[in-house]
Amino acid sequence: MNIMDFNVKKLAADAGTFLSRAVQFTEEKLGQAEKTELDAHLENLLSKAECTKIWTEKIMKQTEVLLQPNPNARIEEFVYEKLDRKAPSRINNPELLGQYMIDAGTEFGPGTAYGNALIKCGETQKRIGTADRELIQTSALNFLTPLRNFIEGDYKTIAKERKLLQNKRLDLDAAKTRLKKAKAAETRNSSEQELRITQSEFDRQAEITRLLLEGISSTHAHHLRCLNDFVEAQMTYYAQCYQYMLDLQKQLGSFPSNYLSNNNQTSVAPVPSVLPNAIGSSAMASTSGLVITSPSNLSDLKECSGSRKARVLYDYDAANSTELSLLADEVITVFSVVGMDSDWLMGERGNQKGKVPITYLELLN
């Protein structure tokens, strides 16, 4: 029975406190009651903490978007994290693209120029995918986790103490209001005692809150170290990707970089960017029984009235009805036509005839 009485009295006291705070808060909003202002230093600390929380959340969320653009995947990872379970490993976009390229190159034939290039590109994409996975793991551990710990840990504690400070401030101002309204000596003495108690509690809570808020500077220093780790992880990732692509470019050095862009409707023949070096290289000129299509060979062909055989270097899709589509490694007949652009020859395969770009041909002896 005594315990029940104690609980009833406690509930009544809590209800009274809540009502007193609500009245004080409402009167302050209506301009009917005075409000104790926090000192400037504490206000600056509160503002700095709020600013830190807002920007930390924005940076954290956008970093997650950067590392994992797929929103569905982010939601799945969030659910597994809340369930304290490890998310299943999934293939990422570069790895998936790389696998598609390798499969396509294998089906087209590793011995063909296009198939071989696809396989090399696919292997490089898979390496980039691995580097991407390492970047995500490193960034999540060294950058995102500390930011999340601040939001879900330190700042929640600050917010809790800040709310408690607000309540203590309302109690203090309510006590001041009651003291002003007290007329009887007994009531005044009771109000003065209540004011001393609420003032002491407010000062104590303000000090606790201030000590917590001063830790924001340490938080900034910690986040700076984490930011350096994130930059280093990105630097390693981009350096790896650059090296992978540099190696791939060297492997594909003998392939034209734009021979697939055959939708040009003008009469200018597509010229591979590596052609000048390729023409001058002894490696290409040393092929037994073959003569690389050089300016001198082409001028000889244009000067003669007859035709010659030529082997096709790369696949070529005709841009219009005046051109002839080509397949790598096939042999066709070529000859010059008076008035035709110097970058083109007339090609013939059986009863099919059309313009062909000279940069895709090797003239045979």
User: How far apart, in whole angstroms, are the C-alpha atoms of residue 8 and residue 266?
Assistant: 93
Q: Is residue 292 part of a domain?
A: no
44 pLDDT higher than 70: yes
Where a domain ends, among 235, 252, 269? 252
Q: Are residues 160 and 37 in the same domain?
A: yes
Where a domain ends, among 252, 270, 286? 252
Number of domains composing the chain: 2
- Per-residue pLDDT, 294: 47
Q: What's the DSSP call for residue 314?
A: S
Q: Are residues 154 and 46 in the same domain?
A: yes
331 pLDDT higher than 90: yes
Q: Is residue 105 part of a domain?
A: yes
Enumerate residues 6+ apart whose C-beta is below 8 A from 236.
135
Q: What integer is the mean pLDDT of 85-112?
A: 88
Share above pLDDT 70 across residues of the chain, in percent, rounded to a whole number: 76
Q: Is residue 285 part of a domain?
A: no
Q: Are residues 43 and 119 in the same domain?
A: yes
How many Cβ atoms are within 10 Å of 94's Cβ, its own excluded?
Answer: 20
Q: Are residues 225 and 349 in the same domain?
A: no
Cβ atoms 154, 215 nearer than 8 A: yes
In this structure, what token pair is assigned to residue 308? 């010659």
- Per-residue pLDDT, 229: 96
72 pLDDT higher than 60: yes
Q: Is residue 273 part of a domain?
A: no
The CATH code of the domain that includes 40 is 1.20.1270.60
Q: What integer is the mean pLDDT of 81-96?
A: 78
Q: Is residue 289 part of a domain?
A: no
Q: Are residues 313 and 225 in the same domain?
A: no
The CATH code of the domain that includes 321 is 2.30.30.40
How many Cβ atoms are within 10 Å of 129's Cβ, its own excluded?
Answer: 19
**Domain carrying residue 343:** 306-362
Q: Is residue 291 part of a domain?
A: no
Q: Are residues 123 and 239 in the same domain?
A: yes
In this structure, what token pair is assigned to residue 12? 């009544």
Q: Are residues 231 and 324 in the same domain?
A: no
Q: Is residue 167 part of a domain?
A: yes
1 pLDDT higher than 70: no
User: How far apart, in whole angstroms, are the C-alpha atoms of residue 95 and residue 101?
Assistant: 10
Q: Is 338 exposed, middle or buried (CB count within 10 Å of its CB: 0-12, 13-18, 19+)?
A: exposed
User: How far apart, in whole angstroms, are the C-alpha atoms of residue 194 and residue 188?
Assistant: 10
User: How far apart, in whole angstroms, are the C-alpha atoms of residue 173 and residue 169?
Assistant: 6
H or E element at residue 285: helix 282-285
In this structure, what token pair is assigned to residue 200? 């002491």
- Residue 264 binned pLDDT confidence (cut-offs 50, 70, 90): very low
The residue among 248 and 85 whose pLDDT is bigger is: 248
263 pLDDT higher than 60: no
CA gyration radius, the chain: 39
Q: Is residue 293 part of a domain?
A: no
CA neighbor of 325 nearest in space, from 315, 335, 334, 333: 315
Residue 38: alpha-carbon gap to chain centroid: 42
Q: Are residues 313 and 186 in the same domain?
A: no
Where a domain ends, among 252, 283, 298? 252
C-alpha pair distances (Å), 317 with each of 262, 314, 326, 346, 357: 6, 10, 6, 15, 11
Q: Are residues 243 and 312 in the same domain?
A: no
Q: Are residues 311 and 198 in the same domain?
A: no
316 pLDDT higher than 60: yes
Q: What integer is the mean pLDDT of 340-362?
A: 90
- Per-residue pLDDT, 112: 87
Q: Are residues 240 and 310 in the same domain?
A: no
Q: Are residues 110 and 225 in the same domain?
A: yes
Least confident of 57-61, 95-99, 170-174, 295-299: 295-299
